[in-house]
């Protein structure tokens, strides 16, 4: 082996003749050639900090890719802060789900979000974002980027085209007064725990009209992606994930990613090369395992959620549901119909009563686990007002509808009738 010259992997198949292959098929082998790894069917985990160059000239060429002297990243492996085989295979497969040119993986969803925002925002700039955002994302904008002279303008997730035009006009004025630009539009859809959807198509139209196409639209697609929503198809430029949730899907790892056109991803790669924050080889390997079943898991979880919600909606101790399969607002339904192919498996359950009744319900659950997070194989339940959103000021909680009787549920892939039986016995304890 030591004397054989370095070999290039065989180009990966993405179609059979003119029949394009679906991502769920490509997850089993795309970007990996077993013959380069002793025939090992699955990619080995490459635990190494650095990579040997075939020649000095090749080493120079690889570094030109790392430093940005040549666009598109490096075509050789250099050093594990920049990339590695497991991460490259994973990035190639993640990009397929969103129809993206490029993807980058990070050690957490928040690392992906922070590095993305830092790449595009300079002192004086304004970031426009939908609300609510994941609390740590909102905090990074309001409390960290603000220390570097970046301000923000936010708008409620369901905003109409007219409202978006007004928000962008305000942001442009704010940027002019600070001597900067509107640097990024950052969305999260659906909002947590409101489940309010953002009209990405309207944001795109408003952005194009007010700002042209140099201000990227990024969207956190953790709750519906990659299966039930493909925001790049609706006008977003960069899609963001906490891979910790549905993509990882087994509640056993923390990671994040972004994907989009090379134009938007390359600058983020440069900052990741500098800062680090790439997912480690073991986590990348776990995610390759996860991606083989992501379509199966999400489909089953979505079917389960539909059955459970149909049952919950009729229960006398349920005041209401915030579930994308049962939207009562016509504008939100219109956004859903244009942007989503499934209602997901994470929803809000409003228990009749307050904190005491909600806690009794949560404490009585026997199959569903009492934990934050979502998108795993197991069903989880939590109480946002006293857990994930505890630090949110009371008046903002009220505005977002985060009440004391709100229980957040992420449905897993168990038997749906068993889950219904669990909820039934838990309600009996309330
Ligand atoms: C969990 C989550 C994040 C943060 O991801 P980590 O992997 O925990 O860093 C960001 N956005 C959303 C919507 C999330 O649910």
pLDDT tens sequence across 52-85: 999 999 999 999 988 888 776 677 899 999 999 9
**Does ligand 1 come within 6 angstroms of the Cβ of 280?**
no
- Looking at residues 303-311, what average pLDDT do you find? 98
pLDDT for the residue 72: 62
Domains identified in the chain, total number: 2
Q: What atom in ligand 1 is closest to the CA of residue 110?
A: 9
pLDDT band at 4 (very low <50, low <70, confident <90, very high): very low
Are 299 and 402 in a shared domain? Answer: yes
Its pTM stands at 0.96
Ligand 1 center to residue 105 CA distance, Å?
A: 14
pLDDT at residue 392 greater than cutoff 90: no
- Number of other CB atoms surrounding residue 415 within 10 Å: 11
Task: Kindly state whether residue 187 falls inside one of the protein's structural domains.
Answer: yes
93 and 220 both lie in a single domain: yes
pLDDT averaged over the chain? 95
Q: How far is the CA of 197 from the centre of ligand 1 (A)?
A: 17
Q: Which of 387, 214, 393, 423 is nearest to 308 (CA)?
A: 423
| Confidence tier at 1 by pLDDT (50, 70, 90) | very low
With respect to residue 127, please indicate whether it lies within any of the assigned structural domains: yes
- Within a domain: residue 329? yes
Residue 396 is predicted with a pLDDT of 87
Dist. CA 246–CA 248, nearest whole Å: 6
Q: Which of 109, 139, 187, 225 has the most ligand 1 atoms within 8 A of CB, as the residue to mutate?
A: 109
CATH code at 136? 3.40.640.10
Which atom of ligand 1 lies closest to the CA of 222?
A: 13
CB of 132 closer than 6 angstroms to any ligand 1 atom: no
Alpha carbon nearest to ligand 1 atom 11, residue: 134
Q: Are residues 167 and 312 in the same domain?
A: no
In this structure, the answer to whether residues 161 and 278 fall within a common structural domain is: yes
For residue 254 and ligand 1, the question of a CB distance below 6 A is answered with yes
Q: Is residue 17 in a domain?
A: no
State the average pLDDT over residues 309-335.
Answer: 97
192 band by pLDDT with thresholds 50, 70 and 90? confident
Tell whether 308 and 245 lie within a shared domain. no
Residue to mutate (ligand 1; options 222, 224, 238; most atoms within 8 A of CB): 222
Token digits of residue 404? 């004391």
Q: What is the mean pLDDT of residues 401-426?
A: 97
In this structure, the answer to whether residues 254 and 357 fall within a common structural domain is: no
The string of pLDDT tens digits covering residues 234-259 is: 999 999 999 999 999 999 999 999 99
Same domain, 241 and 321: no
User: 341 lies in which domain range?
Assistant: 294-427
Task: Look at residue 67 in the predicted model and tell me its pLDDT.
Answer: 83
Taking only the tens place, the pLDDT of each residue in 161-189 is 999 999 999 999 999 999 999 999 999 99
For residues 353 and 258, membership in a common domain is answered with no
Angle, helices 416-428/355-364, rounded to nearest 10 degrees:
130
Tokens of 8: 């290039």
Are 168 and 155 a contacting pair, CB within 8 Å?
Answer: no
* Residue 291 pLDDT class (50, 70, 90 cuts): very high
| CA pair distance 366, 322, nearest whole angstrom | 23
Q: Whose CA is nearest to atom 2 of ligand 1?
A: 242
Q: 368: CA distance to ligand 1 center in Å?
A: 21
Residue 181 Cβ contacting ligand 1 at under 6 Å: no
Q: Measured in angstroms, how far is the CA atom of residue 419 from the centroid of ligand 1?
A: 25
Q: How far apart are CA 213 and CA 93, in angstroms?
A: 27
Q: Give the chain's largest Cα–Cα span.
A: 73
Residue among 13, 45, 8 at smallest CA distance from 29: 13
Q: 352 and 268 in one domain? A: no
**Could you tell me which residues come within 8 angstroms of residue 165 by beta carbon, excluding any fewer than 6 positions away?**
206, 209, 210
Same domain, residue pair 299 and 287 = no
- 231 assigned to some structural domain: yes
Same structural domain for residues 219 and 256? yes
Among candidate residues 217, 205, 291, the one with its CA nearest the CA of residue 260: 217
* pLDDT value of position 400: 84
Question: How far does residue 101's CA lie from ligand 1's centre (Å)?
Answer: 23
Using the 3D structure, point to which of 291, 316, 343 is the last residue of a domain: 291
* Confidence band, pLDDT 50/70/90 cuts, at residue 12: confident
Residues 285 and 337 in one domain: no
Cβ pair 195, 224 in contact under 8 A: no
Asked whether 73 and 91 are in contact (CB, 8 A), the reply is: no
Q: Does residue 24 fall inside a structural domain? A: no
Q: How confident is the model at residue 3 (pLDDT cuts 50, 70, 90)?
A: very low
Tens-digit pLDDT profile for residues 85-139:
999 999 999 999 999 999 999 999 999 999 999 999 999 999 999 999 999 999 9
CATH number at residue 410: 3.90.1150.10
313 in Cβ contact with 296 (< 8 Å): no
Query: Among the atoms of ligand 1, which is closest to the Cα of residue 255?
Result: 7
| β 19-20/15-16 pair status | antiparallel
Contact 120 CB / ligand 1 (< 6 Å): no
């Amino acid at each position: 082996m030591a004397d054989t010259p370095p070999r290039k992997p065989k180009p990966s198949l993405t179609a059979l003749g003119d029949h394009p292959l679906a991502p769920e098929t490509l997850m089993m082998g795309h970007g990996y050639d077993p013959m380069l790894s002793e025939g090992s069917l699955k990619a080995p985990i490459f635990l190494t900090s650095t990579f040997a160059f075939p020649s000095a000239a090749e080493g120079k060429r690889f570094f030109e890719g790392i430093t940005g002297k040549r666009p598109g990243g490096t075509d050789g492996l250099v050093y594990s802060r920049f990339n590695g085989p497991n991460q490259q295979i994973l990035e190639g497969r993640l990009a397929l789900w969103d129809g993206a040119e490029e993807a980058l993986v990070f050690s957490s969803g928040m690392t992906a979000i922070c590095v993305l925002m830092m790449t595009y925002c300079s002192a004086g700039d304004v970031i426009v974002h939908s609300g609510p955002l994941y609390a740590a994302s909102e905090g990074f904008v309001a409390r960290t980027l603000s220390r570097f002279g970046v301000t923000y303008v936010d708008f409620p997730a369901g905003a109409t085209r007219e409202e978006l035009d007004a928000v962008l006009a305000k942001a442009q004025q704010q940027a002019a007064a600070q001597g900067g630009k509107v640097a990024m539009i950052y969305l999260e859809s659906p909002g947590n725990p409101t489940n309010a959807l953002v009209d990405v198509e309207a944001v795109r139209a408003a952005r194009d009209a007010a700002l042209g196409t140099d201000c990227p639209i990024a969207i956190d697609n953790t709750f519906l992606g990659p299966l039930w929503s493909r925001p790049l198809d609706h006008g977003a430029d960069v899609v963001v994930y906490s891979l910790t949730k549905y993509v990882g899907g087994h509640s056993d790892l923390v990671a994040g990613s972004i994907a989009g056109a090379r134009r938007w991803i390359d600058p983020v790669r440069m900052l990741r090369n500098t800062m680090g924050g790439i997912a480690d080889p073991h986590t990348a390997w776990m995610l390759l395992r996860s991606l083989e079943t992501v379509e199966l898991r999400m489909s089953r979880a979505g079917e389960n959620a539909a059955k459970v919600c149909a049952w919950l909606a009729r229960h006398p101790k349920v005041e209401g549901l915030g579930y994308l399969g049962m939207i009562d607002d016509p504008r939100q339904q219109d956004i859903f119909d244009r942007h989503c192919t499934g209602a997901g498996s994470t929803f809000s359950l409003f228990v009749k009563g307050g904190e005491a009744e909600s806690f009794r319900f949560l404490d009585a659950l026997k199959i569903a686990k009492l934990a934050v997070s979502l998108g795993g194989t197991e069903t989880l339940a939590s109480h946002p007002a006293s857990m994930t959103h505890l630090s949110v000021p009371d008046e903002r909680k009220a505005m977002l509808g985060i009440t004391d009787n709100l229980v957040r549920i992420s449905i897993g892939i168990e038997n749906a009738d068993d889950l219904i039986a669990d909820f039934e016995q838990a309600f009996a304890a309330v």
